[in-house]
Amino acid sequence: MDIFTLLEFNEIVSKVKDLTKTELGGEYASLISPFESEEEATYALNLVSEAESILTRFGALPLAPSHKLAPLLEEARRGNILTPHDFYLISADAMNIVKINYYLKDKLDNAPLLKAMLKREKDLAVLANEINKVITPNLLVKDNASHELARIRKNIALSEDRLNKAAQGLISKYGNFLAENLITKRDGHFVIPVKTAYKNKVDGIIYDISNSGQTIFVEPSEIAALNSTLISYQNDEIIEVNRILRALTLETLKYEDEIINNNILLAELDLIFAKATYGQSINGFVPVFQQTKGLQFKKARHPLIDKNLVVANTFNLKDDKFIIVISGPNAGGKTVALKTMGLLV
């Protein structure tokens, strides 16, 4: 059993991770480990202390969930086209960091380290605006993303209207031979449900048959040309949408470094405030490092154990004392005391 498991350090890390809101912040939380130097520890603890002060005075950070963006951009660099959902994630991340910076800008007078961190933000307003010109909130490409797309979609709407009207007329014409008086689609073609017994009564192409075999789905010859025209327009739409998304992908890649920078910055802030939130939940304190040998803990508690179930422990080891002896009956708290000291050290 490794020392982290023995001290239940990993369980504490897991609780901090549960408080993160960003995918990358959660990954960073999983990597938490003891610091290698006092300088690193002091810097990290001071950041958490600043965050805790902000939480106490102003409440939770308005951080929205954020996804890891580096893999998306890596795929784009390989020649893949970003999807509307990908663009939404990138735009949302850009707005997320702007929102956080705006929220914190007048709250950092006593938080110099956080203030310095936020100066790393890169302005992605231009890119976010370009994305929002193209992608709808429903993750579709807007009609006005290009003049050509607007023209194609207008033709699609007109073709669908003509097809519906023509198909309605066929329902009246072939009503006695239909399983149901409705129009449906099979393989992109408008079809009508014809009773199998009357399949020779309707001239056209069969695109499907029901599970029972009692119904066939026929594209009547009267609307075949209209169907072909519609499908042609729909293929044109796919080509134009892909062209638009490819162009936007190439534009987005120009901001790759800035996107990743902000994504990382959000994750770092997320983890700092997750640590501060967890610290508040256990009534924790930021320790003070002393320059002499030894250690002193006053009323220390193991963070995973209910404070009502065990007493707090006070340890005071001066520079000339290197050994501590803990004695007492079974279930008297010796193991908890040792784990508490191990965690704090």
Same domain, 273 and 217: no
Helix (H, G, I), strand (E, B) or coil at 186: strand
Same domain, 323 and 226: no
The answer to whether the beta carbons of residues 282 and 57 sit under 8 Å apart is: no
With respect to residue 80, please indicate whether it lies within any of the assigned structural domains: yes
Greatest mean pLDDT among 92-96, 303-307, 314-318 lies in 92-96
> Any idea which of 86-95, 128-137, 290-299 has the lowest mean pLDDT?
290-299
Same domain, 44 and 189: no
With respect to residue 137, please indicate whether it lies within any of the assigned structural domains: no
With respect to residue 99, please indicate whether it lies within any of the assigned structural domains: yes
Same domain, 232 and 88: no
> Any idea which of 96-100, 147-151, 333-337 has the lowest mean pLDDT?
333-337
Same domain, 54 and 101: yes
With respect to residue 31, please indicate whether it lies within any of the assigned structural domains: yes
The answer to whether the beta carbons of residues 301 and 340 sit under 8 Å apart is: yes
- Output the average pLDDT for the chain: 88
d(CA 121, CA 262): 6
The tally of domains found in the chain comes to: 3
With respect to residue 247, please indicate whether it lies within any of the assigned structural domains: no
Helix (H, G, I), strand (E, B) or coil at 231: helix
* Longest Cα separation, the chain: 105
175: how many CB neighbours lie within 10 A of its CB? 10
With respect to residue 131, please indicate whether it lies within any of the assigned structural domains: no
CATH of the domain at 202: 1.10.1420.10
Same domain, 9 and 116: yes
312 has a pLDDT exceeding 70: no
Range of the domain at 223: 147-241
Nearest to 34 by CA among 6, 53, 10: 10
332 has a pLDDT exceeding 80: no
Residue 176 has what pLDDT? Answer: 87
Task: Give the single-character DSSP code of 135.
Answer: B
With respect to residue 130, please indicate whether it lies within any of the assigned structural domains: no
The answer to whether the beta carbons of residues 225 and 158 sit under 8 Å apart is: no
253, two tokens? 């890649």
Residue 338 has what pLDDT? Answer: 65
Residue 150 has what pLDDT? Answer: 98
Same domain, 161 and 215: yes
Same domain, 10 and 111: yes
Nearest to 47 by CA among 265, 211, 261: 265
Mean pLDDT across 182-199: 88
The answer to whether the beta carbons of residues 170 and 178 sit under 8 Å apart is: no
Nearest to 142 by CA among 239, 246, 253, 244: 244
Residue 116 has what pLDDT? Answer: 95
> Any idea which of 3-17, 81-95, 118-132, 152-166 has the lowest mean pLDDT?
3-17
21, two tokens? 């809101």
With respect to residue 332, please indicate whether it lies within any of the assigned structural domains: yes
Same domain, 118 and 42: yes
Same domain, 300 and 338: yes
341: pLDDT confidence band, cut at 50, 70 and 90?
A: low
What pLDDT, in 10s, does the model give residues 36-74?
888 898 999 999 999 999 999 999 999 999 999 999 999
Residue 260 has what pLDDT? Answer: 97
Residue 1 has what pLDDT? Answer: 58
Residue 167 has what pLDDT? Answer: 84
Residue 304 has what pLDDT? Answer: 72
Same domain, 202 and 263: no
In DSSP terms, which residues pair with 317 in a beta bridge? Answer: 295
d(CA 184, CA 229): 17
Same domain, 171 and 236: yes
Residue 174 has what pLDDT? Answer: 84
CATH of the domain at 51: 1.10.1420
Residue 306 has what pLDDT? Answer: 66
What pLDDT, in 10s, does the model give residues 94-122?
999 999 999 998 999 899 999 999 999 99
Residue 333 has what pLDDT? Answer: 65
